[in-house]
Amino acid sequence: MKIKKAVIPAAGLGTRFLPATKAIPKEMLPLVDKPTIQYIVEEVIASGIEDVLIITGRNKGSIEEHFDRAVELEDNLEKTHKEELLEEVRKISKMINIHTVRQKDPLGLGHAVYCAKSFVGNEPFAVLLGDDVVDSKKPCLKQMIEMFEEYNSTILGVQPVAWENVNKYGIVSGEKLNDKIYTVKDLVEKPAMEKAPTNIAILGRYIITPKIFEILENTKKGVGGEIQLTDGLKDLCNIEDVFAYIFEGRRYDVGSKIGFLEATVDFALKRDDLRDSFKAYLRTINLD
Ligand code: UTP
């Protein structure tokens, strides 16, 4: 079955980025000059998906505006002959069919995904978290879709993380099928380092079968008092095959300050219009 729909949960409170996220969603914070959520939407498009549902919440109106037309701005750019910027701004509103639904209370990622039930229907679908931006030759989601086409079952995008960081992630326990794939036997959300079965962490990319909705309907609050997607997926692997795929690419945790700074520097250095002047500036910094 083809993956045609993607869900981007963006209703979290972004407390790690306060006070910036008091009035602005963290998904709108820019890496250089593009909001992080646009990188995610571009990954979805480059992976061949045509419909996206963004799960929004309070204070998230600017996400909808970002992907909508901005008639006055476009008029102004046209009149002032700023063709390149006009093209850039128009491109965003034409990118893809963007749908939104509100998660009324931030009850957790599992609850946010459950809000996509009627949009998704009875098909496997992709989930991408805006906190994880992946820089890779082949889009991360495309790699995942290719794995789904091979295994026809739920696929979790994973990579090994430093052991001292396992308590920040959903952690996979399973059997290695080959260099890239594990059969998932169990999952644990944010375990203490001593209790973690592995250091293989789910990093914000999933292809999930619709069976998850039946499960999430009954999933109880877990770590942090939130309805956790990991807990739902843990139940799913008792019913269906679930695989973990080690994707290729450099992943940035842009929901954390340090990950955000790393991504900002690396992305700026990749830009033709900034590289030379930014490098020249970086060379002037005394790092001691
Ligand atoms: P996080 O826990 O990383 O996001 O959730 P957060 O709560 O916004 O961040 P901090 O920890 O307070 O800084 C992972 C993803 O799940 C979404 C978030 O928007 C993020 O993309 N999420 C989380 C929801 O959509 N709804 C929720 O109730 C919780």
**Cα–Cα distance between 232 and 127 in angstroms, integer?**
14
pLDDT of residue 69: 83
Residue of the CA atom closest to atom 16 of ligand 1: 109
Q: List, for residues 270-285, the tens digit of each pLDDT value.
A: 999 999 999 999 999 9
Confidence of residue 249 (pLDDT cuts 50, 70, 90): very high
Q: Is the pLDDT of residue 251 over 90?
A: yes
Q: Is the dihedral of CA 145, 151, 154, 160 positive or negative?
A: negative
Centre of ligand 1 to C-alpha 13, Å, is 6
Per-residue model confidence (pLDDT) at position 107: 93
> Where does the pLDDT of residue 232 fall: very low under 50, low under 70, confident under 90, or very high at 90 and above?
very high
Question: Could you tell me the distance, in angstroms and rounded to a whole number, from the CA of residue 123 to the centre of ligand 1?
Answer: 24
Q: What is the mean pLDDT of residues 228-252?
A: 96
Band of residue 57 on the pLDDT scale cut at 50, 70, 90: confident
Q: Averaged over 237-266, what is the pLDDT? A: 96
pTM for this model (two decimals): 0.94
Return the exposure string of 41-74: e unless at least 16 CB atoms fall within 10 Å of the residue's CB, then b.
Answer: bebbeebebebbbbbbbebbeebeebbeeeeeee
Render pLDDT for 69-117 as a digit per residue (tens, 0 to 9): 888 888 999 999 999 888 888 888 788 888 999 999 999 999 999 999 9
pLDDT band at 159 (very low <50, low <70, confident <90, very high): very high
Contact 260, 133 (CB under 8 A): no
Angle in degrees, CA 42, 53, 221, rounded to 5: 115
User: Does residue 58 surpass a pLDDT of 80?
Assistant: no
How far is 203 from 165, CA to CA, in rounded Å?
Answer: 12
Position 223 pLDDT exceeds 90: no
133 CA → ligand 1 middle, Å: 14
Supply the pLDDT for residue 88: 85
pLDDT, position 177: 93
Q: 3-class SS at 280?
A: helix
pLDDT at 130: 86
Q: Is the pLDDT of residue 266 over 80?
A: yes
Residue 168, classed as helix, strand or coil, is helix
Do the beta carbons of residue 54 and residue 37 sit within 8 Å? yes
pLDDT band for 212, please (50, 70, 90 cuts): very high
Which residue type sits at 8? I
Ligand 1 site residues, Cβ closer than 6 angstroms: 9-16, 55, 103, 106-109, 111-112, 129-131, 255
Task: Please state the domain extents for the chain.
Answer: 5-283
User: Percentage of the chain surpassing pLDDT 90?
Assistant: 78
For residue 172, the CA-to-ligand 1 centroid distance in Å is: 20
The domain 5-283 is classified under which CATH number: 2.60.40.420, 3.40.640.10, 3.40.50.300, 3.90.550.10? 3.90.550.10
Q: Which whole number is the average pLDDT over 115-139?
A: 96
